[in-house]
Amino acid sequence: TPSAVQKIKQLLKDKPEHVGVKVGVRTRGCNGLSYTLEYTKSKGDSNEEVVQDGVRVFIEKKAQLTLLGTEMDYVEDKLSSEFVFNNPNIKGTCGCGESFNI
């Protein structure tokens, strides 16, 4: 989303050695999987690259099918600010929202 693009641009402005962010999934939580998001200095051989309005997002190879069709957003309210993943593939989530299953 435009909000996520703006936030990533803002975060990368202070990190000139990084070329983008890498999104993946890890086995974690009570429901199986959780998202990971980290800075990256290079594309890497196993990452799919998505460029949106000048922002480079790399998707780990093992997460590509899990994240297919997912929209990444950045949401701020009075109590929190976070990246939110709107994933159409999810079959269930845990009560706290930390993990999901496909």
pLDDT digits over 3-37, tens only? Answer: 999 999 999 998 999 999 999 988 876 657 788 89
How many domains in the chain? 1
Residue 6, in any domain of the structure: yes
Instruction: Pick the closest to residue 92 from 7, 33, 8, 15 (CA basis).
Output: 33
Residue 12, in any domain of the structure: yes
pLDDT digits over 40-72, tens only? Answer: 998 887 789 999 999 999 999 888 888 888 999
Residue 101, in any domain of the structure: no
Residue 7, in any domain of the structure: yes
Whole-number pLDDT of residue 93: 65
**Under DSSP, is residue 69 helix (H, G, I), strand (E, B) or coil?**
coil
- Distance from C-alpha of 95 to C-alpha of 75, rounded to nearest angstrom: 20
Domain that holds residue 79: 2-90
- Distance from C-alpha of 100 to C-alpha of 102, rounded to nearest angstrom: 7
Whole-number pLDDT of residue 84: 86
Residue 72 belongs to domain with CATH number = 2.60.300.12
Give the global pTM.
0.81
- Look at residue 97 and tell me whether its pLDDT is greater than 60: no
